[in-house]
Structure 1
Amino acid sequence: MLNYLILRVCGIDIKPKYPFIGSTIRGIFGYALRQACCVYVNLKCKECEFKGSCAYFSFYENEKTPNFKLNIKLNQPNYDFEIYLFADAIKHLKPVIIAIKNMPSIGLGVKKLPFNYKQIFLNQSEITNAKIDDITPTFLTFTPHFKGGNYELKTITPLRIKQKNIYVKNSLDFTIFIRQIAMKFGEIIGEEQPKFEVHFDKIEQNFSFYDITRYSNRKERKMEFGGIFGSMKIYGLDERSANFLELATLTNIGKSVTFGLGKISVRQLK
Protein backbone atom coordinates (compact mmCIF):
# COMPACT_ATOMS: atom_id res chain seq x y z
CA MET A 1 0.00 0.00 0.00
CA LEU A 2 1.08 3.57 -0.64
CA ASN A 3 -0.49 6.76 0.78
CA TYR A 4 -0.57 9.83 -1.43
CA LEU A 5 -2.28 13.15 -2.19
CA ILE A 6 -3.03 14.86 -5.51
CA LEU A 7 -3.01 18.64 -6.02
CA ARG A 8 -4.55 19.70 -9.33
CA VAL A 9 -4.36 23.17 -10.88
CA CYS A 10 -6.94 23.87 -13.60
CA GLY A 11 -7.71 26.64 -16.06
CA ILE A 12 -4.29 28.27 -16.50
CA ASP A 13 -4.80 31.01 -19.09
CA ILE A 14 -1.52 30.72 -21.04
CA LYS A 15 -1.00 28.28 -23.89
CA PRO A 16 2.32 26.40 -24.20
CA LYS A 17 4.60 26.94 -27.19
CA TYR A 18 6.32 23.57 -26.82
CA PRO A 19 5.13 19.93 -26.50
CA PHE A 20 6.78 19.41 -23.08
CA ILE A 21 5.83 21.74 -20.21
CA GLY A 22 7.44 19.81 -17.34
CA SER A 23 10.63 21.82 -17.10
CA THR A 24 8.73 25.13 -17.01
CA ILE A 25 6.28 24.00 -14.32
CA ARG A 26 8.94 22.39 -12.14
CA GLY A 27 11.09 25.52 -12.36
CA ILE A 28 8.38 27.95 -11.26
CA PHE A 29 7.15 25.55 -8.57
CA GLY A 30 10.65 25.24 -7.14
CA TYR A 31 11.09 29.01 -7.06
CA ALA A 32 7.73 29.46 -5.33
CA LEU A 33 8.39 26.63 -2.87
CA ARG A 34 11.69 28.14 -1.80
CA GLN A 35 9.95 31.47 -1.19
CA ALA A 36 7.34 29.66 0.90
CA CYS A 37 9.88 27.73 2.98
CA CYS A 38 13.10 29.67 3.24
CA VAL A 39 14.05 31.16 6.60
CA TYR A 40 17.56 32.26 5.61
CA VAL A 41 17.25 33.66 2.09
CA ASN A 42 20.95 33.79 1.25
CA LEU A 43 22.10 30.65 3.06
CA LYS A 44 22.98 27.52 1.11
CA CYS A 45 20.41 24.79 1.73
CA LYS A 46 22.90 22.19 2.97
CA GLU A 47 24.13 24.63 5.64
CA CYS A 48 20.64 25.43 6.94
CA GLU A 49 19.61 24.18 10.38
CA PHE A 50 16.04 23.65 9.17
CA LYS A 51 16.84 21.45 6.16
CA GLY A 52 15.52 18.34 7.92
CA SER A 53 12.00 19.74 7.98
CA CYS A 54 12.10 21.88 4.82
CA ALA A 55 9.90 20.98 1.84
CA TYR A 56 12.19 22.77 -0.62
CA PHE A 57 15.27 20.89 0.60
CA SER A 58 13.38 17.59 0.50
CA PHE A 59 12.07 18.19 -3.02
CA TYR A 60 14.98 19.97 -4.71
CA GLU A 61 18.24 19.61 -2.76
CA ASN A 62 17.96 16.16 -1.22
CA GLU A 63 20.18 13.47 -2.76
CA LYS A 64 17.52 10.83 -2.12
CA THR A 65 14.60 10.17 -4.47
CA PRO A 66 12.08 13.05 -4.01
CA ASN A 67 8.70 11.76 -2.88
CA PHE A 68 6.70 13.83 -5.33
CA LYS A 69 6.02 13.82 -9.04
CA LEU A 70 4.68 16.26 -11.60
CA ASN A 71 1.79 14.85 -13.63
CA ILE A 72 1.47 16.21 -17.17
CA LYS A 73 1.09 14.98 -20.76
CA LEU A 74 2.87 15.77 -24.00
CA ASN A 75 1.27 18.37 -26.29
CA GLN A 76 -1.07 19.79 -23.69
CA PRO A 77 -3.26 22.68 -24.89
CA ASN A 78 -2.60 24.46 -21.57
CA TYR A 79 -0.25 24.57 -18.57
CA ASP A 80 -2.63 22.73 -16.22
CA PHE A 81 -0.80 20.23 -14.01
CA GLU A 82 -0.97 17.93 -11.01
CA ILE A 83 1.51 17.39 -8.19
CA TYR A 84 1.46 14.04 -6.38
CA LEU A 85 2.83 13.81 -2.83
CA PHE A 86 3.83 10.32 -1.69
CA ALA A 87 4.38 8.88 1.79
CA ASP A 88 6.36 11.28 4.02
CA ALA A 89 6.07 14.14 1.48
CA ILE A 90 2.43 14.47 2.54
CA LYS A 91 3.62 16.38 5.63
CA HIS A 92 4.74 19.21 3.30
CA LEU A 93 1.22 19.82 1.99
CA LYS A 94 0.79 23.35 3.39
CA PRO A 95 3.97 24.92 1.93
CA VAL A 96 3.21 23.17 -1.36
CA ILE A 97 -0.25 24.78 -1.47
CA ILE A 98 1.24 28.18 -0.59
CA ALA A 99 3.79 27.77 -3.39
CA ILE A 100 1.08 26.86 -5.91
CA LYS A 101 -0.98 29.90 -4.94
CA ASN A 102 2.06 32.15 -5.38
CA MET A 103 3.09 30.75 -8.77
CA PRO A 104 0.87 33.08 -10.89
CA SER A 105 2.58 36.21 -9.59
CA ILE A 106 6.06 34.73 -10.23
CA GLY A 107 5.27 33.99 -13.85
CA LEU A 108 5.96 31.24 -16.39
CA GLY A 109 9.11 30.67 -18.38
CA VAL A 110 12.15 32.83 -19.04
CA LYS A 111 9.98 35.91 -19.55
CA LYS A 112 8.13 35.17 -16.29
CA LEU A 113 4.71 35.74 -17.79
CA PRO A 114 2.09 36.26 -15.06
CA PHE A 115 -0.96 34.03 -15.36
CA ASN A 116 -4.24 33.12 -13.71
CA TYR A 117 -5.83 29.78 -12.88
CA LYS A 118 -9.48 28.97 -12.25
CA GLN A 119 -9.37 26.21 -9.63
CA ILE A 120 -7.14 24.20 -7.31
CA PHE A 121 -8.24 20.77 -6.14
CA LEU A 122 -6.89 18.56 -3.37
CA ASN A 123 -7.88 15.07 -4.44
CA GLN A 124 -11.51 15.69 -5.44
CA SER A 125 -12.18 18.70 -3.16
CA GLU A 126 -11.83 22.26 -4.41
CA ILE A 127 -9.55 24.39 -2.22
CA THR A 128 -9.17 27.45 -4.47
CA ASN A 129 -10.31 29.91 -1.82
CA ALA A 130 -9.84 27.77 1.28
CA LYS A 131 -7.72 28.99 4.17
CA ILE A 132 -4.58 26.89 4.61
CA ASP A 133 -5.33 25.98 8.23
CA ASP A 134 -8.83 24.81 7.29
CA ILE A 135 -7.56 22.20 4.84
CA THR A 136 -7.65 18.72 6.36
CA PRO A 137 -6.78 16.17 3.69
CA THR A 138 -7.86 12.55 3.55
CA PHE A 139 -5.09 10.37 2.17
CA LEU A 140 -5.61 8.30 -0.91
CA THR A 141 -4.25 4.76 -0.66
CA PHE A 142 -2.97 2.73 -3.58
CA THR A 143 -3.22 -1.05 -3.37
CA PRO A 144 -2.30 -3.03 -6.51
CA HIS A 145 -4.82 -5.51 -7.85
CA PHE A 146 -3.27 -6.80 -11.09
CA LYS A 147 -3.06 -10.58 -11.41
CA GLY A 148 -0.64 -12.63 -13.46
CA GLY A 149 -1.30 -12.49 -17.18
CA ASN A 150 -0.70 -10.46 -20.35
CA TYR A 151 -0.25 -6.69 -20.30
CA GLU A 152 0.39 -3.75 -22.58
CA LEU A 153 2.46 -0.77 -21.42
CA LYS A 154 2.32 2.60 -23.18
CA THR A 155 4.37 5.70 -22.43
CA ILE A 156 2.48 8.96 -21.91
CA THR A 157 5.65 10.98 -21.41
CA PRO A 158 9.15 9.83 -22.42
CA LEU A 159 10.78 7.22 -20.22
CA ARG A 160 14.28 8.41 -19.33
CA ILE A 161 15.93 5.48 -17.66
CA LYS A 162 19.39 3.99 -17.17
CA GLN A 163 20.12 0.29 -17.37
CA LYS A 164 23.65 -1.02 -16.89
CA ASN A 165 24.77 2.62 -16.44
CA ILE A 166 23.62 3.63 -19.93
CA TYR A 167 20.51 5.59 -20.90
CA VAL A 168 18.12 3.31 -22.78
CA LYS A 169 17.62 4.43 -26.39
CA ASN A 170 15.37 1.78 -27.92
CA SER A 171 14.64 -1.35 -25.81
CA LEU A 172 14.32 -2.24 -22.14
CA ASP A 173 15.69 -5.15 -20.19
CA PHE A 174 12.30 -5.98 -18.70
CA THR A 175 13.63 -7.90 -15.69
CA ILE A 176 15.81 -4.95 -14.70
CA PHE A 177 12.88 -2.61 -15.37
CA ILE A 178 10.59 -4.37 -12.89
CA ARG A 179 13.35 -4.42 -10.27
CA GLN A 180 13.90 -0.69 -10.81
CA ILE A 181 10.21 -0.08 -10.07
CA ALA A 182 10.53 -2.15 -6.87
CA MET A 183 13.65 -0.21 -5.86
CA LYS A 184 11.89 3.11 -6.41
CA PHE A 185 8.96 1.94 -4.29
CA GLY A 186 11.36 0.98 -1.52
CA GLU A 187 12.96 4.43 -1.66
CA ILE A 188 9.56 6.12 -1.46
CA ILE A 189 8.42 4.21 1.64
CA GLY A 190 11.89 3.94 3.19
CA GLU A 191 11.97 0.14 3.15
CA GLU A 192 14.38 -1.85 1.03
CA GLN A 193 12.50 -4.37 -1.07
CA PRO A 194 13.63 -8.03 -1.00
CA LYS A 195 15.05 -9.51 -4.18
CA PHE A 196 12.63 -11.54 -6.27
CA GLU A 197 12.49 -13.31 -9.60
CA VAL A 198 10.65 -11.79 -12.57
CA HIS A 199 8.80 -14.37 -14.66
CA PHE A 200 7.27 -13.86 -18.10
CA ASP A 201 6.92 -15.83 -21.34
CA LYS A 202 7.87 -13.20 -23.90
CA ILE A 203 7.83 -9.46 -24.58
CA GLU A 204 7.30 -7.34 -27.69
CA GLN A 205 8.75 -3.83 -27.72
CA ASN A 206 8.13 -0.87 -30.00
CA PHE A 207 10.07 2.10 -28.64
CA SER A 208 11.88 4.98 -30.29
CA PHE A 209 13.86 7.84 -28.79
CA TYR A 210 11.97 11.07 -28.15
CA ASP A 211 14.39 13.97 -27.91
CA ILE A 212 13.85 16.82 -25.44
CA THR A 213 16.28 19.54 -24.43
CA ARG A 214 15.88 21.90 -21.52
CA TYR A 215 17.82 24.87 -20.25
CA SER A 216 19.32 24.44 -16.78
CA ASN A 217 19.60 27.71 -14.86
CA ARG A 218 21.99 26.08 -12.41
CA LYS A 219 24.36 24.81 -15.07
CA GLU A 220 23.63 27.68 -17.46
CA ARG A 221 23.39 25.47 -20.53
CA LYS A 222 21.01 23.31 -22.50
CA MET A 223 20.80 19.68 -21.45
CA GLU A 224 19.58 16.52 -23.17
CA PHE A 225 16.39 15.39 -21.54
CA GLY A 226 14.84 12.81 -23.83
CA GLY A 227 13.78 9.21 -23.34
CA ILE A 228 12.10 6.30 -25.05
CA PHE A 229 8.53 6.61 -26.25
CA GLY A 230 6.21 3.88 -27.44
CA SER A 231 4.74 0.62 -26.17
CA MET A 232 5.51 -2.87 -24.94
CA LYS A 233 3.49 -6.06 -24.61
CA ILE A 234 4.34 -8.58 -21.89
CA TYR A 235 2.94 -12.11 -22.00
CA GLY A 236 2.69 -14.53 -19.07
CA LEU A 237 3.78 -12.03 -16.42
CA ASP A 238 3.79 -13.24 -12.82
CA GLU A 239 1.48 -11.54 -10.31
CA ARG A 240 4.14 -9.88 -8.15
CA SER A 241 5.79 -8.25 -11.15
CA ALA A 242 2.38 -7.21 -12.47
CA ASN A 243 1.70 -5.46 -9.16
CA PHE A 244 4.90 -3.44 -9.47
CA LEU A 245 4.03 -2.59 -13.06
CA GLU A 246 0.68 -1.27 -11.84
CA LEU A 247 2.45 0.73 -9.12
CA ALA A 248 4.56 2.51 -11.76
CA THR A 249 1.38 3.92 -13.32
CA LEU A 250 1.01 5.94 -10.11
CA THR A 251 4.59 6.88 -9.26
CA ASN A 252 6.08 7.14 -12.79
CA ILE A 253 9.44 5.47 -13.31
CA GLY A 254 12.95 6.38 -14.42
CA LYS A 255 14.82 9.65 -14.17
CA SER A 256 13.20 13.08 -13.75
CA VAL A 257 9.70 12.05 -12.68
CA THR A 258 9.59 15.41 -10.84
CA PHE A 259 9.55 16.97 -14.34
CA GLY A 260 6.72 14.66 -15.41
CA LEU A 261 8.81 12.11 -17.30
CA GLY A 262 8.26 8.36 -17.03
CA LYS A 263 4.46 8.45 -17.00
CA ILE A 264 3.01 5.16 -18.27
CA SER A 265 -0.35 3.46 -18.70
CA VAL A 266 -0.82 -0.30 -18.38
CA ARG A 267 -3.81 -2.40 -19.43
CA GLN A 268 -4.46 -6.11 -19.23
CA LEU A 269 -4.72 -8.01 -22.50
CA LYS A 270 -7.15 -10.86 -22.99
Structure 2
Amino acid sequence: MSDSSVQHLVFVRLRCRIQAETPLRLPEFSGSALRGGFGMALRKTACAQPQRSVCGDCLLRRQCVYSLIFETPVPENSELLRRCTAAPHPFVLEPPEDGPQELPPGGELDFGLTLIGRAIDLLPWFLLAFEELGRSGLGGKVGGRRGRFRLISVRQGERVLYQQGKLTANPLPEAAPSAFPACGSLRVLFHTPARIKYQEYFTERLDFHILFRSLLRRISLLSFFHCGQRLDDSGFADLIRQAESIVTVSHELRWHEQERWSGRQKARMQFGGLVGAAVYQGQLAPFLPYLALGEALHCGKGCTFGLGRCSVEWLGQQEENACKK
Protein backbone atom coordinates (compact mmCIF):
# COMPACT_ATOMS: atom_id res chain seq x y z
CA MET A 1 0.00 0.00 0.00
CA SER A 2 1.33 3.44 -0.88
CA ASP A 3 0.80 6.76 0.80
CA SER A 4 1.67 10.34 -0.15
CA SER A 5 2.29 11.32 3.49
CA VAL A 6 5.83 11.21 4.87
CA GLN A 7 4.85 10.99 8.54
CA HIS A 8 5.63 7.26 8.60
CA LEU A 9 9.28 7.97 7.73
CA VAL A 10 10.83 7.88 11.19
CA PHE A 11 14.38 8.51 12.33
CA VAL A 12 16.41 9.37 15.41
CA ARG A 13 19.12 12.04 15.62
CA LEU A 14 21.87 11.25 18.11
CA ARG A 15 25.02 12.94 19.37
CA CYS A 16 27.95 10.66 20.13
CA ARG A 17 30.86 11.76 22.30
CA ILE A 18 34.27 10.12 22.22
CA GLN A 19 37.35 10.62 24.37
CA ALA A 20 40.84 10.07 22.99
CA GLU A 21 42.99 7.51 24.79
CA THR A 22 46.03 8.10 22.55
CA PRO A 23 46.76 11.12 20.27
CA LEU A 24 43.96 11.29 17.70
CA ARG A 25 44.41 13.09 14.37
CA LEU A 26 41.46 13.75 12.05
CA PRO A 27 41.53 15.53 8.66
CA GLU A 28 39.62 18.69 7.76
CA PHE A 29 36.61 16.65 6.64
CA SER A 30 36.63 13.54 8.79
CA GLY A 31 33.44 12.02 7.38
CA SER A 32 35.37 9.65 5.11
CA ALA A 33 37.60 8.38 7.92
CA LEU A 34 34.68 8.04 10.31
CA ARG A 35 32.46 6.19 7.83
CA GLY A 36 35.24 3.94 6.56
CA GLY A 37 36.38 3.07 10.07
CA PHE A 38 32.82 2.43 11.18
CA GLY A 39 32.24 0.09 8.21
CA MET A 40 35.32 -2.00 8.97
CA ALA A 41 34.48 -2.15 12.67
CA LEU A 42 30.87 -3.14 11.95
CA ARG A 43 32.02 -5.91 9.62
CA LYS A 44 34.45 -7.19 12.25
CA THR A 45 31.68 -7.10 14.86
CA ALA A 46 28.70 -8.44 12.90
CA CYS A 47 29.95 -10.49 9.93
CA ALA A 48 29.59 -14.28 10.30
CA GLN A 49 31.97 -14.96 7.39
CA PRO A 50 34.76 -12.37 7.62
CA GLN A 51 36.97 -14.41 5.28
CA ARG A 52 34.78 -13.33 2.34
CA SER A 53 35.97 -10.25 0.47
CA VAL A 54 32.48 -9.33 -0.79
CA CYS A 55 28.93 -9.87 0.47
CA GLY A 56 27.28 -10.58 -2.89
CA ASP A 57 27.33 -14.39 -2.78
CA CYS A 58 27.02 -14.82 1.00
CA LEU A 59 24.07 -16.99 2.09
CA LEU A 60 23.41 -14.63 4.99
CA ARG A 61 23.45 -11.45 2.91
CA ARG A 62 19.77 -10.62 3.43
CA GLN A 63 19.81 -11.37 7.17
CA CYS A 64 23.20 -9.92 8.10
CA VAL A 65 23.29 -6.71 10.14
CA TYR A 66 26.46 -5.54 8.39
CA SER A 67 24.94 -6.11 4.96
CA LEU A 68 21.69 -4.36 5.89
CA ILE A 69 23.44 -1.30 7.32
CA PHE A 70 26.51 -0.92 5.12
CA GLU A 71 25.70 -2.73 1.86
CA THR A 72 21.84 -2.58 1.92
CA PRO A 73 21.00 -5.12 -0.79
CA VAL A 74 18.01 -4.56 -3.05
CA PRO A 75 15.48 -7.37 -2.42
CA GLU A 76 14.73 -9.76 -5.24
CA ASN A 77 11.79 -8.63 -7.40
CA SER A 78 11.90 -5.19 -5.78
CA GLU A 79 9.50 -2.58 -7.15
CA LEU A 80 12.31 0.00 -7.04
CA LEU A 81 15.99 -0.04 -8.08
CA ARG A 82 15.68 -3.45 -9.74
CA ARG A 83 18.85 -2.89 -11.76
CA CYS A 84 20.88 -1.67 -8.78
CA THR A 85 22.90 -3.80 -6.40
CA ALA A 86 22.44 -1.57 -3.34
CA ALA A 87 19.83 0.77 -1.89
CA PRO A 88 20.48 3.93 0.19
CA HIS A 89 21.91 3.10 3.59
CA PRO A 90 19.75 3.68 6.70
CA PHE A 91 22.14 6.00 8.53
CA VAL A 92 23.80 9.40 8.26
CA LEU A 93 27.05 10.39 9.95
CA GLU A 94 27.68 14.05 10.79
CA PRO A 95 31.40 14.51 11.45
CA PRO A 96 32.83 17.31 13.59
CA GLU A 97 32.58 20.72 11.92
CA ASP A 98 35.72 22.34 13.29
CA GLY A 99 38.17 21.29 10.58
CA PRO A 100 41.33 19.30 11.38
CA GLN A 101 41.34 17.83 14.86
CA GLU A 102 44.40 17.06 16.98
CA LEU A 103 43.13 15.53 20.19
CA PRO A 104 45.54 14.75 23.01
CA PRO A 105 44.79 11.84 25.36
CA GLY A 106 41.70 12.84 27.34
CA GLY A 107 40.45 15.24 24.65
CA GLU A 108 36.82 14.91 23.60
CA LEU A 109 34.74 15.58 20.50
CA ASP A 110 31.18 15.01 19.31
CA PHE A 111 29.74 13.73 16.05
CA GLY A 112 26.19 13.17 14.88
CA LEU A 113 24.51 9.90 13.96
CA THR A 114 21.05 9.62 12.41
CA LEU A 115 19.34 6.22 12.17
CA ILE A 116 16.44 5.72 9.77
CA GLY A 117 13.48 3.36 9.98
CA ARG A 118 14.35 -0.21 10.90
CA ALA A 119 17.95 0.81 11.67
CA ILE A 120 16.66 2.45 14.88
CA ASP A 121 16.28 -1.00 16.43
CA LEU A 122 19.88 -1.77 15.45
CA LEU A 123 21.36 0.97 17.65
CA PRO A 124 23.24 -1.58 19.84
CA TRP A 125 25.12 -2.78 16.74
CA PHE A 126 26.18 0.79 15.96
CA LEU A 127 27.40 1.16 19.54
CA LEU A 128 29.37 -2.09 19.39
CA ALA A 129 30.94 -0.99 16.11
CA PHE A 130 32.04 2.37 17.53
CA GLU A 131 33.45 0.64 20.60
CA GLU A 132 35.42 -1.65 18.29
CA LEU A 133 36.56 1.31 16.17
CA GLY A 134 37.84 2.96 19.34
CA ARG A 135 39.98 -0.10 20.09
CA SER A 136 41.21 -0.45 16.48
CA GLY A 137 42.02 3.21 15.96
CA LEU A 138 40.78 6.11 13.82
CA GLY A 139 42.29 8.84 11.67
CA GLY A 140 45.89 9.52 10.71
CA LYS A 141 48.75 7.64 12.30
CA VAL A 142 50.62 9.23 15.19
CA GLY A 143 53.76 7.38 16.24
CA GLY A 144 52.97 4.55 13.84
CA ARG A 145 49.38 3.86 14.82
CA ARG A 146 45.92 5.35 14.58
CA GLY A 147 44.39 7.12 17.53
CA ARG A 148 42.40 5.01 19.97
CA PHE A 149 39.36 6.38 21.74
CA ARG A 150 36.52 5.48 24.06
CA LEU A 151 32.84 6.03 23.28
CA ILE A 152 31.67 7.78 26.44
CA SER A 153 28.07 8.83 25.72
CA VAL A 154 25.26 8.88 23.18
CA ARG A 155 22.39 11.35 23.58
CA GLN A 156 19.11 12.08 21.86
CA GLY A 157 18.53 15.70 22.74
CA GLU A 158 18.80 15.85 26.53
CA ARG A 159 18.17 12.12 26.97
CA VAL A 160 21.21 9.95 27.67
CA LEU A 161 20.87 6.65 25.83
CA TYR A 162 24.35 5.22 26.39
CA GLN A 163 26.93 5.87 29.07
CA GLN A 164 29.82 3.95 30.64
CA GLY A 165 29.43 1.06 28.22
CA LYS A 166 25.72 0.55 28.89
CA LEU A 167 22.56 1.26 26.91
CA THR A 168 20.43 3.07 29.47
CA ALA A 169 17.37 4.07 27.39
CA ASN A 170 15.83 3.38 24.01
CA PRO A 171 15.66 6.08 21.32
CA LEU A 172 12.33 7.77 20.62
CA PRO A 173 11.48 7.84 16.90
CA GLU A 174 11.06 11.27 15.31
CA ALA A 175 9.17 12.30 12.17
CA ALA A 176 8.90 15.36 9.95
CA PRO A 177 6.83 18.21 11.45
CA SER A 178 3.20 18.32 10.36
CA ALA A 179 2.77 22.09 10.80
CA PHE A 180 4.89 24.90 9.36
CA PRO A 181 4.86 28.70 9.47
CA ALA A 182 3.19 30.46 6.56
CA CYS A 183 5.92 31.87 4.38
CA GLY A 184 6.57 32.74 0.78
CA SER A 185 10.36 32.74 1.00
CA LEU A 186 13.02 30.62 2.61
CA ARG A 187 16.77 30.21 2.61
CA VAL A 188 18.43 26.80 2.28
CA LEU A 189 21.98 26.63 3.62
CA PHE A 190 24.34 23.78 2.78
CA HIS A 191 26.92 23.32 5.51
CA THR A 192 28.73 20.40 3.86
CA PRO A 193 29.12 19.84 0.10
CA ALA A 194 25.90 18.79 -1.65
CA ARG A 195 26.58 16.43 -4.54
CA ILE A 196 23.32 16.70 -6.46
CA LYS A 197 22.93 15.28 -9.94
CA TYR A 198 20.52 16.55 -12.58
CA GLN A 199 20.33 15.00 -16.03
CA GLU A 200 23.31 12.73 -15.21
CA TYR A 201 25.67 15.56 -14.20
CA PHE A 202 26.54 17.17 -10.88
CA THR A 203 24.87 20.56 -10.93
CA GLU A 204 26.44 23.87 -9.95
CA ARG A 205 23.14 25.74 -10.34
CA LEU A 206 20.62 24.57 -7.76
CA ASP A 207 17.22 25.75 -8.93
CA PHE A 208 14.47 24.70 -6.57
CA HIS A 209 13.05 21.93 -8.74
CA ILE A 210 16.50 20.29 -8.88
CA LEU A 211 16.75 20.37 -5.09
CA PHE A 212 13.23 19.00 -4.76
CA ARG A 213 13.82 16.19 -7.26
CA SER A 214 16.87 15.10 -5.26
CA LEU A 215 14.99 15.22 -1.95
CA LEU A 216 12.00 13.39 -3.41
CA ARG A 217 14.15 10.55 -4.72
CA ARG A 218 16.07 10.11 -1.46
CA ILE A 219 12.97 10.25 0.73
CA SER A 220 11.07 7.84 -1.52
CA LEU A 221 13.86 5.27 -1.46
CA LEU A 222 14.44 5.51 2.29
CA SER A 223 10.70 5.14 2.87
CA PHE A 224 10.46 2.06 0.65
CA PHE A 225 13.58 0.19 1.75
CA HIS A 226 13.78 1.11 5.43
CA CYS A 227 10.31 2.17 6.57
CA GLY A 228 8.29 -0.46 4.73
CA GLN A 229 6.08 1.88 2.76
CA ARG A 230 6.14 3.11 -0.82
CA LEU A 231 5.12 6.72 -1.31
CA ASP A 232 2.17 7.32 -3.62
CA ASP A 233 3.88 8.72 -6.70
CA SER A 234 0.69 9.62 -8.57
CA GLY A 235 1.07 13.29 -7.65
CA PHE A 236 4.84 13.58 -8.08
CA ALA A 237 4.68 14.96 -11.64
CA ASP A 238 2.39 17.78 -10.49
CA LEU A 239 4.67 18.53 -7.54
CA ILE A 240 7.70 18.76 -9.83
CA ARG A 241 5.82 21.14 -12.14
CA GLN A 242 4.97 23.29 -9.11
CA ALA A 243 8.60 23.16 -8.02
CA GLU A 244 9.66 24.49 -11.42
CA SER A 245 7.60 27.63 -10.75
CA ILE A 246 9.52 28.46 -7.54
CA VAL A 247 11.80 31.45 -8.15
CA THR A 248 15.47 31.49 -7.16
CA VAL A 249 15.83 34.92 -5.54
CA SER A 250 19.46 34.58 -4.53
CA HIS A 251 22.04 31.92 -5.46
CA GLU A 252 25.19 32.12 -3.34
CA LEU A 253 26.26 28.51 -3.73
CA ARG A 254 29.78 27.64 -4.83
CA TRP A 255 31.48 24.38 -5.69
CA HIS A 256 33.81 23.22 -2.94
CA GLU A 257 36.22 20.48 -4.01
CA GLN A 258 37.70 18.01 -1.58
CA GLU A 259 39.24 14.55 -1.67
CA ARG A 260 38.73 11.35 0.22
CA TRP A 261 40.70 8.16 0.42
CA SER A 262 38.79 5.08 -0.72
CA GLY A 263 40.02 2.02 1.14
CA ARG A 264 38.02 -0.21 -1.19
CA GLN A 265 39.48 1.26 -4.39
CA LYS A 266 42.88 2.13 -2.86
CA ALA A 267 42.82 5.59 -4.42
CA ARG A 268 42.05 9.23 -3.72
CA MET A 269 38.68 10.33 -5.09
CA GLN A 270 37.15 13.74 -5.77
CA PHE A 271 34.34 14.44 -3.35
CA GLY A 272 33.20 18.00 -3.95
CA GLY A 273 29.81 19.64 -3.97
CA LEU A 274 27.88 22.86 -3.41
CA VAL A 275 28.18 24.86 -0.19
CA GLY A 276 26.60 28.19 0.71
CA ALA A 277 23.01 29.39 0.53
CA ALA A 278 20.15 29.95 -1.89
CA VAL A 279 16.88 31.83 -1.35
CA TYR A 280 13.65 30.60 -2.96
CA GLN A 281 10.26 32.29 -3.29
CA GLY A 282 6.83 31.04 -4.29
CA GLN A 283 4.07 28.65 -3.19
CA LEU A 284 6.32 26.64 -0.91
CA ALA A 285 3.77 24.93 1.35
CA PRO A 286 3.65 21.55 -0.49
CA PHE A 287 7.41 21.18 -0.24
CA LEU A 288 7.99 22.00 3.42
CA PRO A 289 7.72 18.41 4.77
CA TYR A 290 10.35 17.29 2.27
CA LEU A 291 12.67 20.16 3.19
CA ALA A 292 12.24 19.34 6.88
CA LEU A 293 13.23 15.74 6.19
CA GLY A 294 16.19 17.00 4.18
CA GLU A 295 17.47 18.77 7.29
CA ALA A 296 17.48 15.45 9.17
CA LEU A 297 18.45 13.05 6.38
CA HIS A 298 20.69 15.29 4.19
CA CYS A 299 20.46 15.62 0.44
CA GLY A 300 22.35 14.37 -2.61
CA LYS A 301 25.06 11.73 -2.77
CA GLY A 302 27.46 10.79 0.01
CA CYS A 303 25.01 11.44 2.86
CA THR A 304 26.45 8.64 4.99
CA PHE A 305 29.76 10.53 4.96
CA GLY A 306 28.01 13.68 6.22
CA LEU A 307 27.70 15.40 2.85
CA GLY A 308 24.60 17.37 1.90
CA ARG A 309 23.87 18.63 5.42
CA CYS A 310 21.43 21.51 5.10
CA SER A 311 19.24 23.78 7.18
CA VAL A 312 16.18 25.86 6.29
CA GLU A 313 15.45 29.41 7.44
CA TRP A 314 12.05 31.07 7.03
CA LEU A 315 12.39 34.65 5.79
CA GLY A 316 10.36 37.68 6.78
CA GLN A 317 9.53 40.45 4.30
CA GLN A 318 12.49 42.60 5.31
CA GLU A 319 14.99 39.74 4.85
CA GLU A 320 13.35 38.80 1.57
CA ASN A 321 13.74 42.35 0.21
CA ALA A 322 17.40 42.37 1.28
CA CYS A 323 18.05 39.18 -0.70
CA LYS A 324 16.60 40.74 -3.87
CA LYS A 325 19.07 43.63 -3.80
Normalised to the residue count of structure 2, the TM-score between the two structures is 0.76
Structure 1 contact 15–77 (Cα < 8 Å) conserved: no
Q: CA deviation at 1:167?
A: 1.1
Do the aligned partners of residues 212 and 161 (structure 1) sit closer, same or farther apart at CA in structure 2, a change above 3 Å counting? same
CA distance in 2, matches of 1:73, 1:207: 22
Matched, 1:64 2:87: yes
Deviates more, 1:71-80 or 1:230-239: 71-80
Instruction: Please say if residues 160 and 254 of structure 1, whose CA atoms lie closer than 8 Å, have aligned partners that are also in contact.
Output: yes
**AA at the equivalent of 1:49:** L
Question: Does 2:287 match 1:249?
Answer: no
1:46–1:23 distance in 2 versus 1, CA, 3 Å? same
Instruction: Please state if 1:116 is matched with 2:150.
Output: yes
Instruction: Give the length in aligned residue pairs.
Output: 268
Secondary structure of residue in 2 paired with 1:75: coil
Residue type at the aligned position of 1:154: L
CA contact (8 A) 2:45 2:129 kept: yes
- The percent of aligned pairs where both chains have the same amino acid is 26
How many Å separate the matches in 1 of 2:170 and 2:96? 29
Deviations 1:108-152 (A, max 9, x none): 1253221234423355224122545x6533322332433452101
Q: For 2:32, what is the secondary structure of its paired residue?
A: helix
What's 1:178 paired with? Answer: 212
Partners of 1:153 and 1:265 within 8 A in 2:
yes
Partners of 2:160 and 2:169 within 8 A in 1: no
Q: 1:145, 1:118 → 2: CA distance?
A: 36
Q: Which runs of 5+ in 2 are unaligned?
A: 1-6, 73-85, 102-108, 225-229, 317-325
Q: Does 1:51 align with 2:61?
A: yes
Structure-2 change in CA distance of 1:160 and 1:16 (3 Å): farther
Match of 2:37 in 1: 28
The answer to whether residue 43 in structure 2 is matched with residue 8 in structure 1 is: no
Contact 1:144/1:246 (<8 A) preserved: no
- 1:259 is matched with 305
Q: TM-score, normalised by structure 1?
A: 0.90
1:122 and 1:247 mapped to 2: Cα distance?
17
Q: Which has the larger radius of gyration?
A: 2
1:257, CA displacement in angstroms? Answer: 0.3
In the TM superposition, what whole-angstrom CA distance separates every residue of 1:206-245 from its partner, at most 9, and x where no partner exists?
A: 1111111011111111100011111100112421122212
In structure 1, how many angstroms separate the alpha carbons of the residues matched to 2:26 and 2:58? 38
Structure 1 unaligned residues grouped into runs of 5+: none
Give the superposition deviation at 1:73: 4.8
Give, as a single letter, the amino acid of the residue that structure 2 aligns with 1:5. V
CA RMSD of aligned residues (A): 2.2
Partner residue of 1:165?
A: 200
- How far apart in 1 are the matches of 2:26 and 2:265? 23
Q: Give the equivalent residue in structure 2 for 1:217.
A: 263
Q: Is the 8 A contact 2:247 2:282 kept in 1?
A: yes
